[in-house]
Amino acid sequence: MAISGVMHEYRPPRGRPVLALDGISLDVREREFLALLGPSGCGKSTLLYLAGGFMALQQGSIAVNGRPVRGPGPDRGIVFQNFALFPWKTVRQNVLYGLEKRALPRDERHSRAQHFIDLVHLTGFEESYPSQLSGGMKQRVAIARTLATEPDTLLMDEPFGALDAQTRTIMQDELLSIWRSSPTTVIFVTHDVREAVLLAKRVAVMTARPGRLKEIVDTDFAATDSADVQRSREYADKVDYIWSLVREEAIAAGAGGRL
Amino acid sequence: MTAALFLSRATPLLILALAWEAAARSGLISDYALPTLTSVAVTFVDLAAGDLYYHTARSIWRGMLAFAAAVPLGIAAGILIAWFLPVRILLKPILQCLYPMPKSALIPLTIIWIGIGDSSKIALIFLGCLVPIVMSAFNGARGVDQTLLWTARSLGASERQVLWEIVVPGALPEIMNGIRTALALSFILMVAAELIIANDGIGYLINLLGEAGEYSGMFAGVITISAIGFAADRGCVALTRWLLAWRE
């Protein structure tokens, strides 16, 4: 995905326009796990929504494999912080939704849906409604639903931000193991430095509003087990370094240290 | 429903009935103002053997026809107003004017325009039911979480599919609230219109009995239509629970 010279302004019906993104250029490599990290309000989610084609580009360009992004499409799957499950559909119906939009035989749709339900460890909950599930389970459904259509690029908007600490750790491990077994391009928006360093191969640090790219840091570690990674010296150094980059931005954003 | 639950709901009504009977028998309140409940019951049996069924059926026919027309049209209009900008520009101001207007104020007008028969009453009830349903469908459709729309689009849904598969079911909880309000309104407008001028119907019957000094008959009429209204409301609540079972 090639992002080039993207600028974005929010124009509220009343009041002055707010510049959210100012000249972002970024190349996301194929099958790369990239984290977009920055303080609240820096425009990282806006950039993700533009890449998803959910909002119109005002200036600049975003292209996937040379084709400019013109709108949402199944080549770019999205996972939101609030899960965005269809509450009137069961787990199975949610996962089937994207598959039904394709010309696949019924049996194949169902076997694929089942495969992804099993992959996210929700076997036995196929007929449950979202209201009957915990937060972590809801996010598993959302991930299975998005993976089921096999997107080339996975856009994740603070997907674990609404989960408790233990669930988040488990989900991070599972996401990594899914990504390792079938790598796709992932753009992962977060404000959590440790999460970004742990998951991503590169971390793109953004400035406070208006969002600009501050620095891109390599965060590829030799170890694969996330517990080993987190115990390593390298990991601690990267976290310290990125934290130092982001701290001044957080203070500039008036977030009082919250990232 | 368990026996205990039934008892807990029936007891207050039983106390009310006993208090009514006691007040009416005490002689403190005159007979016309409050006939005894037992005399109302006796009159009810007499009326039920006579015209009560006919007049009730006429009223229910008017009310349900208008209500049944208002439900699909109201849902369609509300969702179209929410979804298509030109429709919104055209219809929203009209809707906003109609919303606070007391529909009962239109009764004399509908009589002048359409006459005193079924049509004027059906038109009035239809309009009265339409407004809350349109409002609820509009608010429901506007309130559907944007991330649901975005998710559907990114999974390959067309705009038409987004409308039918996401916006409509997403608006359903609000719509059911609007439908319940409309159902209650249909009873109010039905009786109000019939009280003012009509050839038949429960409102007509209540008026007729009142003018003839048959007060226990009036009460029997009021209780009959109230009981039907109550049953309709419970039916609406049960339907809503069934349709929205996914909410838990």
Per-residue pLDDT of A210-239, as tens digits, reads 888 989 999 988 877 888 888 888 999 999
A26 or A252, which is more confident:
A26
The reply to whether A82 touches chain B by the CB within 8 Å rule is yes
Residue A255: pLDDT band with limits 50, 70, 90: low
Nearest residue in chain A measured CA to CA from B148 = A84
Report the side by side order of strands in the sheet with A2-10: A18-27, A2-10, A59-64, A67-68
Q: How many CB atoms lie within 10 A of CB A166?
A: 9
Task: Assess whether pLDDT exceeds 60 at residue B62.
Answer: yes
Which structural domains are found in chain B, ordered by start? Answer: 48-247 (1.10.3720.10)
The reply to whether A241 touches chain B by the CB within 8 Å rule is no
Q: How many CB atoms lie within 10 A of CB A28?
A: 21
Quote the pLDDT of residue A256.
Answer: 46
B188-216 burial: b if 16+ Cβ within 10 Å, else e: ebbbbbbbbbbebbbbbbbbbbeeeebbb
> What share of chain A has pLDDT > 90, as a percent?
72
For A54, the token pair is: 């959910």
> What share of chain B has pLDDT > 70, as a percent?
100
Sign of the torsion angle spanned by Cα atoms A61, A23, A153, A121: negative
Q: Which residue among A84, A129, A130 sits closest to B151, beta carbon to beta carbon?
A: A84
Average pLDDT over residues A183-188: 94
**Mind telling me how many Å the CA of A219 is from chain B's nearest CA?**
29
Among A88, A199, A83, which Cα is nearest to A135's? A83
Average pLDDT over residues A86-106: 95
Give chain A's mean pLDDT: 91
DSSP A117-156: HHHTT-TT-TT--GGGS-HHHHHHHHHHHHHHT--SEEEE
Nearest residue in chain A measured CA to CA from B159 = A72
Task: Assess whether pLDDT exceeds 90 at residue B73.
Answer: yes
Alpha-helical segments (H) within chain A = 44-52, 91-100, 106-119, 135-148, 165-181, 193-199, 226-231, 233-252
Task: Assess whether pLDDT exceeds 80 at residue B32.
Answer: no
CA B147 to chain centre: 35
Chains A and B: how many Cβ contacts under 8 Å?
A: 67
Q: Which residue among A73, A77, A87 sits closest to B246, beta carbon to beta carbon?
A: A87
Average pLDDT over residues B169-182: 97
Full-model pTM: 0.89
Q: How far apart are CA B196 and CA B204, in angstroms?
A: 8
The reply to whether A116 touches chain B by the CB within 8 Å rule is no
Task: Assess whether pLDDT exceeds 60 at residue A258.
Answer: no
Render pLDDT for A146-175 as a digit per residue (tens, 0 to 9): 999 999 999 999 999 999 999 999 999 999
**Mind telling me how many Å the CA of A134 is from chain B's nearest CA?**
14
> What share of chain B has pLDDT > 90, as a percent?
68
CB contact under 8 A, B248 and A131: yes
Average pLDDT over residues B130-159: 96
Quote the pLDDT of residue A231.
Answer: 87
Average pLDDT over residues B126-148: 96
Give chain B's mean pLDDT: 92
What is the three-class DSSP state of A216?
Answer: strand
Lowest mean pLDDT among A106-110, B101-105, B240-244: B101-105
Among A245, A193, A244, A185, which Cα is nearest to A219's? A193
Average pLDDT over residues A110-117: 96
B159 or A259, which is more confident:
B159
Quote the pLDDT of residue A257.
Answer: 42
Average pLDDT over residues B185-214: 92
Q: How far apart are CA B126 and CA B44, in angstroms?
A: 30
CB contact under 8 A, A82 and B161: no
Residue B48: pLDDT band with limits 50, 70, 90: confident
The reply to whether A54 touches chain B by the CB within 8 Å rule is yes
